[in-house]
Structures are given as C-alpha cells and as structure tokens.
Amino acid sequence: MISVLVVIAGLVVPGFLPSLWLTRCPLPALALAPMVTGLACALGSVVALVTRTALLPWVVVVVVATNLAVVLQATKGQSKPESGAVDADRFSFRSVVPFALVAAPLLTVRQAPHAWDARSIWWFHADWFWSGGDVLARALQNPIFVFSHPDYPPLAPATIATLWRLRGGSDLEFAQLVSAILTAAPVVLLAMAVGGRFAGTASRWVGTAASVLVLLAVHGGTKVMGTDGYVDLQWAVAFSAAAVVILLWPPEPRHVAVGAIALAYAGLTKNEGMLSAVVLLALAAFRFRHRRQLLVFPAVATAAGFVWMVVARMHGAESDLASGPTAAKWLRGDFVGFERLHPTLTAVWNVGRGTMAPAALMLVLGVVFLRRDRHRLGIPGAGYLWLAAAGAQLLIVLAYVISPDPLDWHLGSSLTRTMLVVQLLLLVEMVVWFGVAMAVASDRRLARMSAVSEVSALSATDR
C-alpha cells in the first residue's frame, strides 16, 4: 500500500501544478501530471548523463523550475482562462468515468514482474539511471549490453529510477507498478481527449460514451493490459492522444500544448514514437498552415526525442536497426532487402486486418452518410488520423525491411506490439464516427421532442 502511495504521489505531485495550469480542471490534470513528471525525469536524465552525475538532483531542479514558472505566470495574472484555454466542458468532471474504467485492468499489475523486455530493457536501464550518469554513460557504450538496446529513450527507466530513489531502494514489483501508472495516464488522457471532442453537442453523454468506447478499444481491441512493464502501449496511447488533441481539437494554444506533452511523452518512451512524431508534425504543419505559431509546440515535442538520440549516440549507444548492414547500404543508396517486404506486409495484414477492415468500412459509411454532420460538429476530416496511422505503419514496415534480425523471429516477437499504434489510431477514428452518429441521433431526438412540445403549446394556445 505504501508503494502505491509513493508511486501515485511521486508521479502526480511534481507534474500536477503545470498540468492544472494547462487543463484548468483537476481530473484531467491528474491524468496529465504523471506524463509531465515523466518528461521532467527524462530531461533530468539527459543532464545527468551529460554531466555524469546523480539523476535525482537534476529531476528536482527541472520539477522546481517548471512549477516556479507556472506560479510566476499565474501570479502575473496570465492564468485566467483566455481564448484558447482548455475549457472545463471538454475536460469535465464526467472525466471520472475513464479513471474508473482504467482501474480494472490496473489490477493485473499484481502479476509477477517477469516480462522479458521489461526485465532485459526497461528495468535494466532503470538500474543504470538509478546508479547515476557515470554508470549510465559506461552502460551506453558497453558492447555486452547491446542485447538491451541501450539507445532506447529514457522516459520510463528514468522515471522508475527517480521513484526508486524517492523510495530508497530498487525492486521490480515497484518498477512494474510505476510502469503501469505511466501507461494508465495516457490511456485516461486519450479517453478524455476523444470524449472531450464532443463537448458542446446536444447530448452530454455522447462524449462520455465515446470515452468508454475508447477504453474498451484500448483494453479489448489491443488485448494488451500495459501492466507488465512493456512500454509499447504507453507510447502508442500517448501518440494517439497527441494525434487526437493536435489534429482534431479546436486549434488553440493550450490544446496544442497538451497534445505536445503527449507527443514528447511518446517520443521519449520508444524509438518508434520518436520517428512517428515526425509524421504527426507534418500533419500538424498542414493543419496549422494558417496559424504557424501553433506549430512551435509539436515541433519542440518532436525535437525532444531526437535530443536523446543525439546525446545517446554521442555517448556510444547504437541502434541495432540503424547500424545494421541493410541500413548501411540504404545510406549509400543501395536499396536492398525488399525480399522482406512481402512477408512483412502479409504479417501486418494478418495482425491488423481485424481493425483495418472495419475501420475502412466505417470510413466509407461515415464519408457517405455523416461527412456533413462531422463538419457541422467542427471535427476535422478522417484523413488526419488515417494519414497518421499510414505514416506510422510505413515506418513499422520499413523497420522490418532493414532489420538485421531474422524476419520470422523479428515479426513473431514484436509485430503485435509495434502495430498497437496503427490499431489504436484506427479504433479511435471509428469511435469518432460513432460519436458523430450518436450526436446526430441525439440532435434529431431533441428536435423531435422540441417539435412535439411546440405543437402541444400551440394546441393549448388554440384551446
């Protein structure tokens, strides 16, 4: 129980004030706070690595500086909800529904902490971060640790290491709990983001139903609980939340800032997130082509992942994909390895068809029957999330084509996890169409009720 309290306090408290300042509402701030804390830990870890010093003091510096900046902004009187604030209706107290629903899958965190990648990558890296920047620097260039992908981004292990320091010791069950909360936070944010997009529709429950559908999609559609220490669901959900907020929400500074936090979170969690962020940045550039100042947020978020990549490379860490023989040939303009393309596409279809086929059907039905209603609700077109999914999918396929690993082994050991982001984006897009349909049905019902009451009123007047 003490572990749970330490995890929740350690993850929520440092990031709560900045989150509250951005969202203006306590519940969504609760979901965003662990993500802000995670980003602070990641930033602190970069400084610890460069200076080869302990991690915790730098995390404290980042957290204090961030909170101080927010307090200064608030005391300057700039915290009043101006045009562009994340309004309470979008992130309303109905948001308690996602919190309640995310709690059930979290119970599986009580399983033994034995997942292979969690042990060999994420919690192993947390050991390095826990030991300090000097140990981390040696680990990044130690050829023995190549199996552990030392180049992988720091957010999850740095956050675990920070909380280990706060608790005064390292153990894997505690690490598993931290990993689970780091995944649950963007899950809740995604559910709120999709539900919040329907704020202002005639029926208040459309948004709540959309949130519930998203949660069912995450935990049912992907069949991944996210409580075993793997970070695939963590980055995929954060990326999806970023895509929804940046591409589908009204284009206001604070909305985009919240989306950028989720985008940086994805990019600093897994390499695929870092690369997929470029796709989202390109889509954001198109959407904000008339308000280019909004592009600053996703641009900074995208750059964050690349900062880690550069710093890790400077310290000797190498990516197995980028340093493999096929990638080297590609860099010389010799595009080989395409015999891996067909089996990769076949495997992708086998894993993704359960989502891709219904999403395509829903897209056709939506465009034919609901396009105008979607436009009337102010929700940008389906092309955004489909293009984000297509871009992420392209990067996934490319990774398998240039991978130095045997294809069957590589696909079999990872495709269900790497495809999560594509599946989630398409599932979310389906939920958006469903929400539009519900909103239309609700509007028609209200219109009928209004017409009936008008007729009744007229009849009463005639009498």
Partner 1 sequence: VTGSEVLRAELAEEQLTSLRGTVAHYECMGDAMLRQLPSTRTRVRMDVADGMWMQRLTEMATPRHDIVADAADADYVVTLGAEVGACGAPQVVVMSSR
372-379 long-range Cβ contacts below 8 angstroms, 24+ apart: 373/436, 373/439, 373/440, 374/432, 374/433, 374/436, 377/198, 377/201, 377/436, 377/439, 378/250, 379/197, 379/248, 379/432, 379/436
Question: Considering the rule CB under 8 A, would residue 384 count as an interface residue with partner 1?
Answer: no
Rounded to a whole number of angstroms, the minimum distance from the CB of residue 312 to partner 1 is 18
Q: Name the minimum Å distance from CB 119 to partner 1.
A: 6
3 binds partner 1 (CB under 8 A): no
Work out which of 37, 148, 208, 423 binds partner 1, going by CB under 8 A.
148
- Residues 342 and 348: their CA atoms lie apart, in Å, by 10
Q: Give residues 68-127 in contact with partner 1 (rule: CB under 8 A).
A: 112, 114, 119-120, 124, 127
Gap between the Cα atoms of 230 and 189, Å rounded: 19
Q: In which element (H, E) is residue 107 found?
A: none
- Nearest distance from C-beta of residue 114 to partner 1, angstroms: 4
The number of C-alpha atoms within 13 Å of 458 and in the hemisphere containing its C-beta is 6
Reference 183, options 228, 216, 146; nearest CA is 228
Task: Give the nearer residue to partner 1 in terms of CB position, either 130 or 235.
Answer: 130
Residue 145 sits in the site that holds partner 1 (CB under 8 A): yes
- Interface with partner 1 (CB under 8 A), residue total 18
Phi, psi for residue 315 in degrees, rounded to 5: -100, 10
Q: How far is the CB of 408 from partner 1 (least distance, A)?
A: 17
Instruction: Quote the CA–CA distance of 286 and 20 in Å, as a whole number.
Output: 29
Indicate which single residue of 144, 331, 364, 368 sits in contact with partner 1 (rule: CB under 8 A): 144
Kindly tell me which of 145 and 205 has the beta carbon lying closer to partner 1: 145
Contact 75, 154 (CB under 8 A): no
Q: How far apart are CA 193 and CA 240, in angstroms?
A: 10
| 54 near partner 1, rule: CB under 8 A | no
In the structure encoding, which two tokens stand for residue 48, read together? 């610890």
Closest to partner 1 by CB, 101 or 139: 139
Contacting residue, 131, 203, 414, 416, with partner 1 by CB under 8 A = 131
Cα 177 from chain centroid (whole Å): 18
Which of these segments, 101-109, 140-148, 211-219, 267-275, binds partner 1 (CB under 8 A)? 140-148
Taking CB under 8 A as the rule, does residue 302 contact partner 1? no
Q: Which of 52, 138, 167, 313 binds partner 1 (CB under 8 A)?
A: 138
| Torsional sign, CA 32, 37, 42, 43 | positive
142 binds partner 1, rule: CB under 8 A: yes
Residue 116 or 349 having the CB closest to partner 1: 116
414 forms part of the interface with partner 1 (CB under 8 A): no
139 lies in the binding site for partner 1 (CB under 8 A): yes
What residue ranges bind partner 1 (CB under 8 A)? 112, 114, 119-120, 124, 127-128, 130-131, 135, 138-139, 142-145, 147-148
